[in-house]
Amino acid sequence: MLLSQLQREHKRWLEHNFPSQKSHDALLGLIEEVGELAHAHLKHEQGIRDMTEVEYRIQAADAIGDIVIYLASYCNTNEFSLPLIVKETWDRVKQRDWRKDPDNAGG
């Protein structure tokens, strides 16, 4: 699925289900999901709480998907184009060569 399609579909879904959602609602949801991804990664890394490889991958994938959805939500409530932002940022980042110029590659 293209990010543009996701954002369009999400906008219709959001308007139907949560028409008065504030932009900070999506931001808080995004932060929560990043925390869930960090939690799964940490427990997997530590080898505790029965975090098998399979369970880690399930939880991490769920959090990653939710992160993208919340980004679409944030972009929709703030009138940003998610695909344009990703493209423009990637066009800048992919020009950086950390091996060749580690002191100045960060832009």
Instruction: Please indicate, yes or no, if residue 104 is contained in any of the structural domains.
Output: no
Q: Report how many domains make up the chain.
A: 1
Instruction: Please indicate, yes or no, if residue 55 is contained in any of the structural domains.
Output: yes
Spatial separation of the C-alpha atoms in residues 14 and 36, rounded to whole Å: 23
Instruction: Please indicate, yes or no, if residue 16 is contained in any of the structural domains.
Output: yes
- Give the CATH number, domain containing residue 37: 1.10.287.1080
**Structural tokens at position 103:** 């002191």
Q: Report pLDDT digits (tens) over 53-63.
A: 999 999 999 99
Q: Is 47 exposed, middle or buried (0-12, 13-18, 19+ CB in 10 A)?
A: exposed
Per-residue CA distances from 4 to 9, 43, 50, 72 (Å)? 9, 34, 38, 9
Instruction: Please indicate, yes or no, if residue 99 is contained in any of the structural domains.
Output: no
**Structural tokens at position 12:** 């219709």
Range of the domain at 29: 3-93
- Specify the residue for token string 């950086």: 96
Instruction: Please indicate, yes or no, if residue 103 is contained in any of the structural domains.
Output: no
Q: Report pLDDT digits (tens) over 21-73.
A: 998 999 999 999 999 999 999 999 999 888 899 999 999 999 999 999 999 99
